[in-house]
Amino acid sequence: MSTPIGLGPTPPEVPADELAAANSLPESQGRLIWRRFVGNRVAVASIIVLLAIILFSFSAIGIGPIPGWWRFGFKELNPQVNGGDPTLSLLPQFLGGDGVSLGEHPFGQDRIGKDYFAMTMRGIQNSALVMVVLGLIATVVGVVVGAIAGYYRGTVDAILMRVTDVFIVIPALVIGSVVGHWFGSLGAPVLAIMLGFFSWMGIARLVRGEFLSLREREFVEAARVAGASDMRIIFKHILPNAMGVVIVSATLIMASAILLETALSYLGYGIRSPDVSLGLLISSNQSAFQTRPWLFWWPGAFIVSLALLVNFVGDGLRDAFDPRHRRFKLSKMRETPPEPELEPKP
């Protein structure tokens, strides 16, 4: 750009660091979002801990036929050790504890002698599975329905949105119970897939809203003039711009998926025995609360931590995608210099 010639107003002074940033290569949207997300320490720590817990559970008792490093399975019965008490000890000897050791059954045993560590790990696996599968299916269905409704508008939109209304009228737990009652006995993957087909409504509404506003923008016009097909415009041009909404709400669906699965299992409509779910563990051991409280605490702690971590990740993603949501610290505001006084003091 050439230097402006003439009597126009002098351009405002640009601070040196901003000028430097403008002269260097412009950052892509994705890189900007990534940088904002990484800057959020809580969210990054949450995603690391979350992945660590899930990997730990899969490595401990293995997947399907592949065995893990833990010596007991979640179905086998073992002789009662120490009255089923947890043998996990974390207090080192120099602090008066028994030293850091796992012991025979670190999380204790249930009433018939199953190893509770293996059962809890299996519960985490199932929660993670339901979370991912349900989240993916709900997101894909929601995006497709919302994109088509928002892009084509008119009759298509009206029909699709009325269908969404029909599904949304039934409270999530009610439809979940019915679906779980029907498909729960077929195992966790089937349950997760079927639940996914009844959880897409929120995301569909959001995506439709995004599409309704994005389809009026110039870049869509340009693509259409260039001869792009509808599918190409929807998936290559508009959808990448709506990705923020999609990713954030997918994370939030995943958090609620964990809670939905545990609630259904608690009610008896989710994952069935002999398979294990964290909600099922609580429901079947609730009566033993006074005598064997650890049967209640371990699954409870893991449900809350999983859901909390996913929620933190979702919150971090929302902050990263939406610059208006940027958190600013009060301490930083105080650092800004006071405004210059209008009239110099005599």
Partner 1 sequence: MVSFILRRILVSILILIAASFLMYVMVGYSAQPLQDLESSNSPNKQQLIDARVARLDLDVPPPLRWVLWLGGVAKCAIPFANACDLGSTISNAQVVDILPNALAATVQLVTFALVLAILLGVTIGIITALRQYSGLDNTVTFVSFFLFSLPAFLVAVLLKEFIAIGFNDFLRDPVIGGTALVVIGVIIGAIWQSLLGGDRRRRLVVFLVSGLATSGVLLLMSATGWFENPGLGPIPVILLVAAIAAGAATLLAGLRNRRALITAGINAALAIAAYFSLQPLFDVSSAGTLFILALATIGVGLVSGFLAGGYDRGQNMRVGLVTALFSGAVVLLDRFMQSWGDLLTATNGRPIATVGSKTPGVSGDVWLTGLDTFAHLTLPIVALLLISFAGYTRYSRAGMLEVLSLDFIRTARAKGLPERTVIVRHAFRNMLIPLTTLVAFDVGALLGGAIITEKIFAIPGMGSLFNSGLERGDLNPVMGYFLIVAAMAITFNFLADMAYAGLDPRVRIR
Maximum Cα–Cα distance across the chain = 93
DSSP annotation of 44: H
Pick 179 or 233: Cβ nearer partner 1: 179
Joined together, the tokens standing for residue 152 give: 């084509």
Pick 144 or 304: Cβ nearer partner 1: 304
Pick 70 or 312: Cβ nearer partner 1: 312
Distance separating the N- and C-terminal Cα atoms of the chain: 44
Pick 240 or 293: Cβ nearer partner 1: 293
Distance of closest approach, residue 72 Cβ to partner 1, in angstroms: 26
Give the binding site for partner 1 (CB under 8 A).
Answer: 162, 165-167, 169-175, 177-179, 181-182, 255, 259, 262-263, 266-269, 279, 282-283, 286, 289-290, 296, 300, 303-304, 307-308, 310-312, 315, 329-330
Distance of closest approach, residue 111 Cβ to partner 1, in angstroms: 17
Distance of closest approach, residue 150 Cβ to partner 1, in angstroms: 19
Distance of closest approach, residue 257 Cβ to partner 1, in angstroms: 12
Pick 119 or 220: Cβ nearer partner 1: 119
Distance of closest approach, residue 15 Cβ to partner 1, in angstroms: 24
Distance of closest approach, residue 309 Cβ to partner 1, in angstroms: 8
Q: Rounded distance, CA 124 to CA 128, Å?
A: 6
Q: Rounded distance, CA 222 to CA 212, Å?
A: 17
Q: Rounded distance, CA 203 to CA 245, Å?
A: 8
Distances (CA, A) of 270 to 189, 202, 234, 283: 11, 22, 36, 11
Distances (CA, A) of 92 to 95, 102, 103, 108: 6, 12, 14, 20
Q: Rounded distance, CA 264 to CA 11, Å?
A: 63
Handedness of CA 167, 171, 176, 179 (dihedral sign): negative
Pick 238 or 254: Cβ nearer partner 1: 254
